[in-house]
Amino acid sequence: MTSSVFATERLLFTPATPNTDAIPTIFAFPNDYTVGITSLGYQVVWATLAMRSDMQVSRLFTDTHEQLPREPEILGFSMSWEPDYVNILNLLESLEIPIRAAYRGDHHPIVFGGGPVLTANPEPFADFFDVILLGDGENLLGNFIDVYKEVRNASRQTKLQALAQVPEIYVPSLYEVRYHTLDGAVKSIQPISTEIPAVVQKQTYRGDILSTSTVVTEKAAWENIYMVEVVRSCPEMCRFCLASYLTLPFRIASVEGSLIPAIEKGLSVTKRIGLLGASVTQHPEFERLLDHLNQPKYDDVRLSIASVRTNTITVKLAEILAKRDSRSLTIAVESGSENLRRIINKKLHNDEIIQAAINAKGGGLTNLKLYGMVGIPGEEPEDLEQTVAMMRSLKKTVPGLRLTFGCSTFVPKAHTPFQWFGVNRQAEKRLQLLQKQLKPQGIEFRPESYNWSIIQALLSRGDRRLSHLLELTRNYGDSLGSYRRAFKQLKRQIPNLDFYVHDNWSTDIVLLWNHLQGPLPQSTLIKHLADATSYFNLPQKELQPLGESFI
């Protein structure tokens, strides 16, 4: 792909003309252009930088780039998926920048990273970045640039010391991690001096104007789509869910002041609108927004909505979507077991799932996609049987509605109540069991790769020692076999794979992200964990995190 892809872009903002002393900056997405330009977060940060006259920003993707500055002062990465770390290291090398922050000198750019992966747990990647921006970018990005300008001509170390004073900016090299043993648990995480904050708090934007697309292009993975963020976070707080816990509190965009004007702006360049958010239909004025989009003047508009809460699917919603060229809806049910849903705090009943399917079909939709999960802490074999029974019941109740059941393996995520649990070793067999049971029913079953879930868990609960492993796996190839080979090579230098992936951790241990504060304190997460385990079918000792502090 050549830089001609940029010629197809329709911008919804006006870039500034850079000053003569503007800061030469590269803002990269570590994947193909079609993937990167579909990321709303990447679009918004790029536009925010491009609208500043004190910045001269060029975009970089793995397959194309704008004209890059010869001596960039700042290089930023937006990281949305864990496996993209390989591309970050490759891009750094292509720019002749040392991949480890410790080897960079005053003449190298300050390398920063942001995005959901780095906000959740940056530690496996910490040694590759000078600076990590934690949380929402709305205010944080401006604070970062303003402080950088004050120390622009100073030494690299002075720059890092100054940036570390900005709330929500994490400078990994200014924190020392100690371990009980080389391959043991974390002993302590401390700043290297009293001038550096002991804890870095994630940035939370609290305005009522949320993100919207800054560019529309036919080359995006979602062709010509204009994206509108309707809500941020999710009020349901399922106990495994990073999208809810990490991004609290639940925030909504103003319908009159933000959403409707944004949609009108988008429709000036495209006829395809995507409403985004973890729980779009739980916007308190969603009905008002729906009525607005149901006007005859929008009859030629194609409308799509991200995953919706099951009990908010009405015939009216289905009718509007069907009329707007949508054929399916996606709901997250996690399991057909009522008890398992109590464990994870999924406030949902099977009759609501069946009613949602009836309403979807009644409104003219042809496909219902359901998301489930195996290996949830507390899961018993009968819980799987109840999932199969629920799907059979759906198939029988709504004949003609195409049912797709996507299923992943539970992966522990930082800053959630289930961060102390490991991946269930029986999960792969349970995926195979569901496949065997559902396929003959005419239900399309789409399991997520179990091996990928193992790698995801490793990176979501990994610490800085994994940086050596990540460098090795980049050379070996991105497969679970490569990770196992790298662990073998680093034996006794880092903990084994089981420690990161399968072990249930004590609630008394020092979590490797203890110095990075999410929306809720650890004491609250432990309380939510206790609420969950109260529904376990005891005895279930192998499912309980080690230690008794939460019981």
114 pLDDT higher than 70: yes
- Tokens representing residue 382 in the block: 């009968």
With residues binned 3-state (H G I as helix, E B as strand, rest as coil), the percentages for the chain, rounded to 5, are 40, 20, 40
Q: Are residues 289 and 436 in the same domain?
A: yes
Residue given tokens 């460098």 in the structure block: 471
Cα gap 163→140, rounded to integer Å: 11
Q: What is the mean pLDDT of residues 178-197?
A: 96
Helix, coil or strand: residue 45: helix
What pLDDT was estimated at residue 1? 42
With respect to residue 159, please indicate whether it lies within any of the assigned structural domains.
yes
Q: Which residues pair with 284 in a beta bridge?
A: none
Q: What is the mean pLDDT of residues 523-539?
A: 90
Of 460, 483, 502, the one marking the end of a domain is 460
What pLDDT was estimated at residue 306? 86
Task: Calculate the alpha carbon distances from 483 to 6, 389, 456, 468, 496 in Å.
Answer: 37, 37, 12, 11, 11
Q: Are residues 284 and 428 in the same domain?
A: yes
Q: What is the DSSP letter of 337?
A: -
Cα gap 136→39, rounded to integer Å: 14
Average pLDDT of the chain? 94
Indicate the pLDDT class of residue 154, thresholds 50, 70 and 90.
very high
Q: Are residues 98 and 246 in the same domain?
A: no
Q: Are residues 409 and 369 in the same domain?
A: yes
Indicate the pLDDT class of residue 551, thresholds 50, 70 and 90.
very low
What pLDDT was estimated at residue 414? 96
Strands 251-252, 328-334: pairing is unpaired
Indicate the pLDDT class of residue 544, thresholds 50, 70 and 90.
low
Indicate the pLDDT class of residue 307, thresholds 50, 70 and 90.
confident
User: For 164-203, b where at least 16 C-beta lie within 10 A, e where not — what string?
Assistant: bebebbbbbbbbebebeeeeebbeebebeeeebbeebebb
Q: Choose among 188, 184, 125: nearest CA to 496.
A: 184
User: Largest Cα–Cα distance in the chain?
Assistant: 70
- Tokens representing residue 470 in the block: 């990540």
| Cβ proximity of 113 and 76 under 8 Å | yes
State the amino acid at position 421 in one-letter form: F
What pLDDT was estimated at residue 296? 92
**Cα-Cα-Cα-Cα dihedral of 330, 336, 337, 341, to 10°?**
0
With respect to residue 432, please indicate whether it lies within any of the assigned structural domains.
yes
> How far apart are the two ends of the chain, measured CA to CA in Å?
56
Q: Are residues 197 and 286 in the same domain?
A: no
With respect to residue 317, please indicate whether it lies within any of the assigned structural domains.
yes
Residue given tokens 């399922």 in the structure block: 238
Cα gap 354→313, rounded to integer Å: 11
545 pLDDT higher than 60: no
With respect to residue 481, please indicate whether it lies within any of the assigned structural domains.
no
453 CB-near residues (< 8 Å, 6+ apart): 408, 409, 411, 423, 427
Q: What is the mean pLDDT of residues 333-338?
A: 96
Q: Are residues 63 and 194 in the same domain?
A: yes
Helix (H), strand (E) at residue 407:
strand 402-409
Domain that holds residue 113: 3-201
Strands 251-252, 231-232: pairing is antiparallel
With respect to residue 387, please indicate whether it lies within any of the assigned structural domains.
yes
| CATH code for the domain of 255 | 3.20.20.70
Cα gap 42→219, rounded to integer Å: 15
With respect to residue 526, please indicate whether it lies within any of the assigned structural domains.
no
Cα gap 313→535, rounded to integer Å: 28
pLDDT in tens, 66-111: 999 999 999 999 999 988 999 999 999 999 999 999 999 999 999 9
Indicate the pLDDT class of residue 139, thresholds 50, 70 and 90.
confident
pLDDT in tens, 235-291: 999 999 999 999 999 999 999 999 999 999 999 999 999 999 998 999 999 999 999
Q: Are residues 156 and 230 in the same domain?
A: no
Cα gap 172→174, rounded to integer Å: 5
With respect to residue 351, please indicate whether it lies within any of the assigned structural domains.
yes
Q: Are residues 196 and 263 in the same domain?
A: no
Q: Which residues pair with 110 in a beta bridge?
A: 74
What pLDDT was estimated at residue 83? 87
Q: Are residues 171 and 253 in the same domain?
A: no
Of 410, 440, 460, the one marking the end of a domain is 460
Of 460, 487, 512, the one marking the end of a domain is 460
Of all residues in the chain, the percent with pLDDT exceeding 70 is 97
Q: Are residues 193 and 289 in the same domain?
A: no
pLDDT in tens, 26-75: 999 999 999 999 999 999 999 999 999 999 999 999 999 999 999 999 99
Of all residues in the chain, the percent with pLDDT exceeding 90 is 92
With respect to residue 524, please indicate whether it lies within any of the assigned structural domains.
no
Cα gap 167→136, rounded to integer Å: 12
pLDDT in tens, 432-463: 999 999 999 999 999 999 999 999 999 999 99
Task: Calculate the alpha carbon distances from 4 to 213, 416, 547 in Å.
Answer: 20, 43, 58
Please give the tally of structural domains in the chain: 2
Q: Are residues 71 and 155 in the same domain?
A: yes
Q: Choose among 409, 405, 410, 453: nearest CA to 431.
A: 409
What pLDDT was estimated at residue 542? 46
What pLDDT was estimated at residue 2? 46
pLDDT in tens, 359-402: 999 999 999 999 999 999 999 999 999 999 999 999 999 999 99
- Crossing angle of helices 85-94 and 466-476, in 10° steps, is 80
How many residues in total does the chain contain? 551
Q: Are residues 186 and 269 in the same domain?
A: no
Kindly report the pTM of this predicted structure.
0.94
State the amino acid at position 250 in one-letter form: F
| CATH code for the domain of 30 | 3.40.50.280
